[in-house]
Structure 1
Amino acid sequence: MREIRCDLCVIGAGSGGLSVAAGAAQMGADTVLIERGAMGGDCLNTGCVPSKTLLAAAKRGPVSDFAEVHARVHGVIAAIAPHDSQERFEGLGARVLRENARFVGPDAVEAGGVLVRARRFVLATGSRAAVPPVPGLDAVPFLTNETLFEQTALPAHLLVLGGGPIGVEMAQAFRRLGARVTVVEKAALLPKDDPELVEVVRRRLEAEGVDIVEGVGVARVERAGDGVAVAVEDGRRVEGSDLLVAAGRVPNVEGMGLEAAGIAFGNRGVEVDARLRTTNRRVFAVGDVTGGPAFTHVAGQHASVVIRNALFRLPAKVDYGALPWVTYTDPELAQVGMTEAAARERFGDAVRVLRAPFAENDRARTEGETEGLVKLVVGRRGRVLGAGIVGANAGEQIALWCLVVAKRMSVGDVAGLPLPYPTLSEAGKRAAGSFYTPTLFGERTRRLVRFLRWFG
């Protein structure tokens, strides 16, 4: 068996693994990258890129030929693919093995007849679509994000199991493209987000004709003629032509010989500490396989932490305190830091909530996009604990508040900031400024102004 010795071996060429491999190789580390599937992983091939391309196509409305949408989605994937390709990474200096990797000891991995021994390893194997234990699901055809974007025909009636970000994004996209859509969610729609902001998204989905069944579980799934039917626990039955399962993610930990390497793992992923080290100190893990927040930008943050630890012996730690997340519906819903509920649970009555509706923002009025608001969660002395935005371009607007939360800034830092007029970002500034309204325009200020009159 051929043997390779290197500084760093990265297993998985998705977002996290590619970021680690690119950084390490360009910094001079002898790097081996192993990937058994498509380069670019879930984000490029079955996740962020195709879903956002589909959403963009859906904004143009119903289509007469869904095959054109399919071609557009795969055209964008193909355009981005060279950046994640084997050729590019070999050009950066990494050795790329397109094989399945399996640990055969605490310091060695076998991949396609090659034994790789490395000073450090990085697990970046990502996750896959979860399949819930719904009776009858194993007996009907269904789609996940891994097969959805291969469809060349528009579903007549798409049933979506799961009302999280993937479920609601695809529900709105397919409804706008011309399909009937029903979403079934056991909890509430977008259960991890602020309910006040979610309500704006819910109203838009319902106004566009998406049927939403929430707060009730699925009793069973069964065939219905050429299609499929979902029976919910309250007795209702919904029939459709196609079924999309969007019920969360499962970390990829099977079949890699983690036991042989002394790496602890479970159903929620590989166990890691704050430095992203596994129970085998030679091995780090990044991205979805850690069981943490399943976002591409989290995988990128993980990569930075691991490079500092693995290459430079710096005790860098991951910090989710200023983690942003966006649901790319129309209107978009973006959040960073604490929600109102989380802040009140921790700080109680010390929390203040500041709001600014887009209906009072001049740019929103000129664009005819007045639905939504900025919501700030503020602690003692005006420190911003979290921010939520629901409205047009919320994902772009949240960037300012990521900085504010990360740097532990106060509303005063934004309230006094000059911003261009007219822009949607002024809504956030207006919300921040409202923190001072009771004091600034109160009786104490009025008395001060009257007093100062005496001095000319």
Structure 2
Amino acid sequence: MTLDYDVVIIGGSLAGRSAALMATQLKAKVALVEAKTDYGFIHHHVFSEIGRLAQQVSNAAQFGIGISKPPDIFYPTNASNGTIHSSTEKTEALSLQDSFIAISSGKSQTPVIWSEALLYARGVSSNLEQFHSPAVLAAQGVDVVIGKGQFQTSPDLVFAVNNRLLRARTYLLASGSVPVIPDIEGLQKTGFLTLSEIWQSLSSSTPPQNWVIIGGTPQSVEVAQTLARLGCSVTLIVQHPSIIRHADPEIVQLLQAQLEAEGVRVLTNTTVTQVRLIEDKKWLQAGHKAIETDEILVATAQQPNIESLNLAAVGVKWHQRRLVVNEKLQTTNHQIYACGDVIGGYEFPHIANYEAAIALKNALFFPWNKVNYHCIPWGVCSHPVLAQVGWTEAQAKHQYGKNEIIVLRQYFKLLAIAQIQEETTGICKLIVRRNGEILGCGVLGAAANELINIIALAIAQKIKINHIANLAAIFPSFSEILEQTARQWHQQRLQNNTKLQDCLESFFHFRRDWKI
């Protein structure tokens, strides 16, 4: 039987569209099946940036920038809808009898009009979506099929959608994930929001001011900080000891301290056991604490979006939160590959695209390529940003032993650019073997999401630490933190080598005596 396509991609994610474009650029015949692609994660990053800007405006006075504003800001009742004020102080309604609400300006109050912010976020999403829109993909030669389908064996493996049977040599699952809703008594009845729903809810006429966020994921941490910066009261509840489980504990502790300094109440090692609605207020039983809130955000984990694909019938196995794949990204049916958060892990678009490239090459050619996550960076888009690549200190010492590992640290407060921009909170931590091999890096600080890429490249290309130490970074720049941290490797090696120290002292003593 003749095959219609080289690969059929079951999409619904940005990685699916990227994979389709890569396939057609390789001159393969490809079909992309998707019901809808969600660009809601862009809203998340846009509002995080809005929160950062609001914080900067509130802190402008310390830079000598005066912002003149009246002692009281008056909004008409119908115009104040959807407006939240970025301030740690509670706003007071001085007059509720007439058609105006008087809001005290406070010392650091920056109004955020949510309807305008949401419109801007939609514009950004729309602009980005155009680059991989179905029309653009179709113009590149991709057969775009809008709809939901499922796998069938009749008798060969096919994908059925819209009364069509799509036959291909291989298939690629890039359907993304959906939230895991924890089994908490009363949660479903009381109501809650997920990450895809939160920003739309803030544009309502009475946006929630008090939030409880359940879950320790990068996205939950980012949302907690953003809401706090926009004037909301936020409680972050995490079941584990660390707010980010897979990051370096030393760096995560600094990030948690930053969140708490900005007003986020963090409860670790805490499990929510019950949720109730009492007098129009939501109450949670979290450990031994009863917490009252306006809204609950659930961001505990994700699970594969595979419910309607009929995977069991074609021999594809999965666990609760991930598909079973090998290091070549083949499922248990070796004709079907998978990439992105459909196979588990955190929701990171760049990792999904990396996996898509590996899976696509294996699907189109020969399954020789393997994933290697050791040199793939990831991070939390907080402020300051947390970024990590490779092994943590504990992982490296477990692998090689304590005596083989050198830990290098440098703090952002020593950088001129950090002092100039008031970005002094931060640390760079490099994990290195004694032979100079870089095993991992964790950075918390401004531009960490850019700096980590340099170390990721160094790990991938096996560039040793002495080459990083020899960088001549532009002054002033945040890149200096890598150079300064790496230089400590020479210092630590010298401190641990008494014979070399004695030799150097004798050498310089000889040159001074003989004036050589």
Question: For residue 111 of structure 1, what is the amino acid of its counterpart?
Answer: V
The 5-angstrom pairing of residues 374-413 of structure 1 reads: 374-413=428-467
Question: For residue 48 of structure 2, what is the amino acid of its counterpart?
Answer: L
- List runs of 5+ in structure 2 lacking aligned partners: 55-85, 87-110, 496-500
Q: Specify the SS of the correspondent of 2:124.
A: helix
Q: 1:93 to 1:112 in 2, by over 3 A?
A: same
For residues 321-368 of structure 1, the C-alpha deviation after alignment (integer angstroms, 9 at most, x for no partner) is: 112111011111111000112112212211111001111111111212
For residues 269-323 of structure 1, the C-alpha deviation after alignment (integer angstroms, 9 at most, x for no partner) is: 2221111112222211111112245321111111211222122225111111112
Question: For residue 124 of structure 1, what is the amino acid of its counterpart?
Answer: A
TM-score by length of 2: 0.83
Q: 1:449 to 1:440 in 2, by over 3 A?
A: farther
Structure 1 residue 412: Cα displacement? 0.5
Question: How far apart, in 1, do the equivalents of 2:482 and 2:158 lie?
Answer: 52
For residues 72-131 of structure 1, the C-alpha deviation after alignment (integer angstroms, 9 at most, x for no partner) is: 222211221211211111011011111112001152011011111111111111111111
The aligned counterpart of 1:149 is 199
The aligned counterpart of 2:48 is 55
For residues 128-186 of structure 1, the C-alpha deviation after alignment (integer angstroms, 9 at most, x for no partner) is: 11111112111111111121132213321011011321111101111111111111111
The 5-angstrom pairing of residues 5-24 of structure 1 reads: 5-24=4-23
Question: How far apart, in 2, do the equivalents of 1:439 and 1:342 lie?
Answer: 22
Structure 1 residue 64: Cα displacement? 4.5
Whether the 8 Å CA contact 2:406–2:433 is kept in 1: the answer is yes
Question: How far apart, in 1, do the equivalents of 2:167 and 2:196 lie?
Answer: 32
- The answer to whether the aligner puts 1:119 opposite 2:172 as a matched pair is no
Q: 1:128 to 1:430 in 2, by over 3 A?
A: same
Question: How far apart, in 2, do the equivalents of 1:438 and 1:145 lie?
Answer: 45
Question: How far apart, in 2, do the equivalents of 1:339 and 1:183 lie?
Answer: 25
- The answer to whether the aligner puts 1:82 opposite 2:130 as a matched pair is yes
Whether the 8 Å CA contact 2:158–2:168 is kept in 1: the answer is yes
Structure 1 residue 446: Cα displacement? 2.0
Structure 1 residue 250: Cα displacement? 0.9
The aligned counterpart of 1:169 is 222
Question: For residue 481 of structure 2, what is the amino acid of its counterpart?
Answer: A
- The answer to whether the aligner puts 1:436 opposite 2:429 as a matched pair is no
The aligned counterpart of 1:33 is 32
Question: How far apart, in 1, do the equivalents of 2:367 and 2:245 lie?
Answer: 37
The aligned counterpart of 1:205 is 259
Question: How far apart, in 1, do the equivalents of 2:332 and 2:289 lie?
Answer: 48
- Of 187, 190, 201, 2:244 maps to 190
For residues 42-64 of structure 1, the C-alpha deviation after alignment (integer angstroms, 9 at most, x for no partner) is: xx2x22x1111010111132234
Question: How far apart, in 2, do the equivalents of 1:87 and 1:96 lie?
Answer: 9
The 5-angstrom pairing of residues 29-428 of structure 1 reads: 29-37=28-36, 39=37, 41=38, 44=39, 46-47=40-41, 49-61=42-54, 62=86, 63-105=111-153, 107-151=157-201, 152-153=203-204, 154-187=207-240, 188-233=242-287, 235-313=288-366, 315-349=368-402, 350-428=404-482
Question: How far apart, in 2, do the equivalents of 1:224 and 1:342 lie?
Answer: 46
Whether the 8 Å CA contact 2:177–2:342 is kept in 1: the answer is yes
Question: How far apart, in 1, do the equivalents of 2:113 and 2:278 lie?
Answer: 26
Structure 1 residue 221: Cα displacement? 1.4
Q: Specify the SS of the correspondent of 1:33.
A: strand
Question: For residue 122 of structure 2, what is the amino acid of its counterpart?
Answer: H
Q: Structure 1 stretch 184-193 or stretch 321-330: which is displaced more?
A: 184-193
Q: 1:195 to 1:438 in 2, by over 3 A?
A: closer
Whether the 8 Å CA contact 1:357–1:373 is kept in 2: the answer is yes
Whether the 8 Å CA contact 2:217–2:346 is kept in 1: the answer is no
**Number of residue pairs matched by the alignment:** 447
Whether the 8 Å CA contact 1:340–1:377 is kept in 2: the answer is yes
Question: How far apart, in 2, do the equivalents of 1:336 and 1:193 lie?
Answer: 9
- Of 445, 449, 454, 2:508 maps to 449
Question: How far apart, in 2, do the equivalents of 1:246 and 1:440 lie?
Answer: 47
Q: Structure 1 stretch 264-273 or stretch 49-58: which is displaced more?
A: 264-273
Question: For residue 451 of structure 1, what is the amino acid of its counterpart?
Answer: F
Identity %: 31
- List runs of 5+ in structure 1 lacking aligned partners: none
How large is the RMSD of aligned CA atoms in angstroms?
1.8
Whether the 8 Å CA contact 2:18–2:132 is kept in 1: the answer is no
Q: Structure 1 stretch 235-244 or stretch 339-348: which is displaced more?
A: 339-348
Q: Structure 1 stretch 206-215 or stretch 147-156: which is displaced more?
A: 147-156
Question: How far apart, in 2, do the equivalents of 1:163 and 1:426 lie?
Answer: 32
Whether the 8 Å CA contact 2:388–2:452 is kept in 1: the answer is yes
Structure 1 residue 4: Cα displacement? 8.1
Q: 1:143 to 1:408 in 2, by over 3 A?
A: same
Structure 1 residue 5: Cα displacement? 1.7
Question: How far apart, in 2, do the equivalents of 1:369 and 1:444 lie?
Answer: 41
Question: How far apart, in 2, do the equivalents of 1:247 and 1:399 lie?
Answer: 28
Whether the 8 Å CA contact 2:172–2:360 is kept in 1: the answer is no
